[in-house]
Amino acid sequence: MKLRKNILIVDNNCELEQSVKEPLLKQLENSGVSPIVVRAKDGAEAAIKSENQKFDMVIIDTEVPRLMDGGFVYGIHTYKNTQDAEVIVISQKDPSDLPESLRSSKFFKKPVTPEELINAMITVLNVQHHGQAKDANTAAAATKYAVDVRVINAVIKATTNVLEQFGVTSVKMEKAGPKSPQECLMGEVSSVIDIKSQSFQGYLSISFDKGSFLEVVSTMLMEEQTELTKDNQDAVGEINNIIFGNAKSEITSYGVQMTVPRVLLGSDQVVPCATGSAGMMIPFSTSKGKFYLTVVALPIAKAT
């Protein structure tokens, strides 16, 4: 029986898929590997496809639309369905200009010939099939972590829905990026919730700067708030209880457990994290400020 290997090609036209799919299948026809090629036309579709299917290899053309604006690229090594995937990057840029999450990937500067790409793909698939990379990854396997992109999407949806209900309609999601867990939370008032599943443990935080927080609290209390006070700071707990409450049913349906949110006040708050943790932050802007959704994955030791 052949070993199935799922390959995701992120390419906004069919040229890349058409140039490698048939030759790859032909060259592996008599091998023990059966490649299944799936194409995503942009970063958003890649994120959706990786929610529902595990991939062993991801090939990314960095010029495709909506690739650098969302979380797919920045979380590619932490999402459960792509965390073990071999990533091949094709770009007009230099490797140093790519997001940090892509810099360690196998890189081809455009233009690249189909033969070069196919040879690289076959080498990777053969290594995966015969287990030649196993020893090199033994140490890293003990600290693997994975965050389900569906959890992040559920919180994003709940956050924007709740703020719109409070009358904050100018919310815009900005470019996601890596966030060091050792750095302070970005806002003045934050709410943190621990989350855990079979493949993930870590936390989510929503952190408001002064402007965005006062905007939300003013609409919530139906009275203009111009300064942070003890009275209105307590409202962040209520706001985020509502947000996480809205997201809870969807998140728990994915097998993820959540704790009760805890409130952190002040701009210098740090959530203690173990060595090997990794984080991603998604900034949002409102008409009066910014708030930040941060997800941090803690390393999980695997049973030997």
CATH level 2 (architecture), domain 3-141: 3-Layer(aba) Sandwich (3.40)
Does pLDDT of 130 surpass 50?
Answer: no
Q: How far is CA 181 from CA 83, 198, 204, 282, 287, in A?
A: 19, 21, 11, 14, 28
The owner of tokens 């080498």 is: 123
87 dihedral zone (left: phi>0; alpha: psi -120 to 50; beta): beta
Tell me the C-alpha distance between 87 and 117, whole Å.
12
Q: Are 301 and 142 in contact (CB under 8 A)?
A: yes
CA dihedral 205, 193, 197, 284 (to 10 degrees): -20
Question: Domain ranges in the chain?
Answer: 3-141, 149-297
Distance of CA 171 to the CA centre of its chain: 20
Question: How do residues 229-259 score in pLDDT, each as one tens digit?
Answer: 777 777 767 787 888 888 888 888 878 888 8
User: What is the pLDDT, as a whole number, of residue 165?
Assistant: 83
pLDDT, tens digit, for every residue of 36-71? 999 999 888 888 888 888 999 999 998 888 887 666
Is pTM beyond 0.85? Reply is: no
Residue 126 scores a pLDDT above 70: no
> Is residue 8 very low, low, confident or very high in pLDDT (cuts 50, 70, 90)?
very high
Tell me which residue has tokens 């599943």. 197
Query: Residue 144 pLDDT > 80, yes or no?
Result: no
Kindly indicate the confidence band of residue 1, based on its pLDDT and cuts at 50, 70 and 90: low
Instruction: Tell me which fold the domain 149-297 belongs to.
Output: Chemotaxis protein chec (3.40.1550)
The two structure tokens encoding residue 277: 């943790």
Tokens standing for residue 290: 């910014």
Q: What is the DSSP string of 105-125?
A: SEEEESS--HHHHHHHHHHHH
Report the alpha-carbon distance of residue 40 to residue 60 in Å, rounded.
Answer: 10
Confidence grade of residue 290 (pLDDT, cut at 50, 70, 90): very high
Is the predicted pLDDT of residue 199 greater than 70, yes or no?
Answer: no
Instruction: Locate the DSSP E strands across the chain.
Output: 3-10, 33-40, 57-61, 86-91, 106-109, 172-173, 177-178, 189-196, 201-208, 257-258, 262-265, 278-285, 290-297
pLDDT top residue among 152 and 293? 293
What DSSP element (H or E) covers 241?
helix 235-252
